[in-house]
Structure 1
Amino acid sequence: MKIYLVRHGQAQVAAGRRRDAPLSPLGHTQAGHLAKWLAGDARLDGDTSLTVGSVVTSPLTQARETAEYVCAPLGLPARAQHTLTEADFPLSPELPSSTAPFARRRGRLLSERYLDFRAQARAALAELTRCAQESGRPVLAVTHGGLIGTVVRVVAESDTFHLTLYHCGITALDWSDGRWRLSHVNLWDHLPVPLRTT
């Protein structure tokens, strides 16, 4: 069972609308490259092609607009999934820190708002898993960097790391042999170097 998590294209940053904003001109270009790659021979590696059975999206504008690009050449509709919405606070300061790279983490408790968002990410993964199981096909979710990073932390059962994710980058999860496999993080082969942004 495969689940592909795609970060939306670059959004316009407007005062008071950082969380829910339309794509910037560059974001439209990024989403167009992603869609063209997915509609063609989307190779994950030498042996594996990325195929999509269904598309779900965060209801926020930048994700919906990216999903529209993805869906058009695939002939698939996008279904909005509320649990794919981004956090409304910066995540990195909420995560445990340490005094040195391999030192034991301080026993600081995680904030209630982070725990709530982590529960949302777990619910999002459960919904995506159910969709993939029911259809027997891979699911592609267009969402946000904070949500993708938190889903990876849920799978890893660790809140001790932060991921920097690229616009229209792909993170691939595969459930097989009773465990999650994280096969790709930030796959961006479909984007020319000038289009790679965080």
Structure 2
Amino acid sequence: MTHYIYLVRHGEHQNAEHGLVDGPLSPRGRRQASLLADRLSGVPLSAVWHSPLVRASETARAVADRLPAVAPEPSALLFDCVPTGLTPDTPAAFESFFGSITEAEVDAGRAQMDDAVNEFLVRKPGDVHELLITHNFVIAWFVREVLGAPDWRWMTLNQAHCGLSVISQKQGRPWTLIAHNDLAHLPVELRTGLPETLPF
């Protein structure tokens, strides 16, 4: 008996390149979501949770259109957030990122991710398959948590739009990272959202 959680970053949203904070999926984002839905169509999902932001909601709807047995539900625990501030171990290269982040935002992000871990990383009985459609930093925090890495390490974990990460827990064992940012379902031209261009 295994509990699987599929972690997906939302598809690309309209005018993201112009700094728009949220919005509907772009044509490319809709294609990404459609291919993600194809990839997950054989998974017996028991629940689909998503961030309430538009780009995540629309990605969840695209998946649900292929899997009518599950109804996507929003969760405020999956909102985009910054889960930590600077720590003594944070490399100096990351300091500039925190220049516009307030202490209140960091406190709220930390509390949110503590609650998210307590809500979702809880072993459920039987075989369970849950899909969480959320944001880059949230997925990075879950992966960091499962790996037991230092807090600042979430900053080094990036996910492409509609990239697929999978964590699982067998009865009596710790959570395990099965896959991270799997892009096999996306052609090269749809692999967007990473801070660096892949060389392949």
TM superposition shift of 1:7: 0.4
The 8 Å contact of residues 56 and 80 in structure 1, kept in 2 or not, is answered as: yes
- Mapping for residues 55-134 of structure 1, pairs under 5 Å: 55-75=48-68, 76-87=70-81, 94=86, 96-98=89-91, 113-130=105-122, 133=124
Q: How far apart are the structure 1 equivalents of 2:54 and 2:126?
A: 27
The aligned amino acid for 1:137 is V
**Equivalent position SS for 2:73:** strand
**Equivalent position SS for 2:63:** helix
Equivalent position of 2:176 in the other structure: 181
- 1:54 matched to 2:47? The reply is yes
The 8 Å contact of residues 30 and 195 in structure 1, kept in 2 or not, is answered as: yes
Equivalent position of 1:169 in the other structure: 163
The aligned amino acid for 2:128 is R
Equivalent position of 1:158 in the other structure: 150
Mark the runs of 5 or more structure 2 residues left unpaired by the alignment: 94-102, 194-200
The 8 Å contact of residues 84 and 151 in structure 2, kept in 1 or not, is answered as: no
Instruction: Give per-residue Cα distances to partners, 1:64-98, cap 9 Å, x unaligned.
Output: 000000011111210111100002x6x79746433
Mark the runs of 5 or more structure 1 residues left unpaired by the alignment: 41-49, 101-110
Cα distance change of structure 1 residues 124 and 196 upon mapping to structure 2, 3 Å threshold: same
Give the fraction of aligned pairs with identical amino acids, expressed as a percent: 35
Q: How far apart are the structure 2 equivalents of 1:68 and 1:98?
A: 39
Q: How far apart are the structure 1 equivalents of 2:190 and 2:127?
A: 33
TM superposition shift of 1:120: 1.2
- RMSD of equivalent CA atoms: 2.7
**Equivalent position SS for 1:140:** strand
Match of 2:32 among 24, 27, 30: 30
Q: How far apart are the structure 2 equivalents of 1:52 and 1:192?
A: 24
The 8 Å contact of residues 161 and 192 in structure 2, kept in 1 or not, is answered as: yes
Cα distance change of structure 1 residues 125 and 92 upon mapping to structure 2, 3 Å threshold: closer
**Equivalent position SS for 2:152:** coil
Cα distance change of structure 1 residues 16 and 188 upon mapping to structure 2, 3 Å threshold: closer
Q: How far apart are the structure 1 equivalents of 2:175 and 2:120?
A: 13
Q: What TM-score results when the alignment is normalised by the length of structure 1?
A: 0.77
TM superposition shift of 1:151: 1.9
Q: How far apart are the structure 1 equivalents of 2:10 and 2:187?
A: 16
The aligned amino acid for 1:147 is V
Equivalent position of 1:149 in the other structure: 140
Q: How far apart are the structure 2 equivalents of 1:124 and 1:190?
A: 27
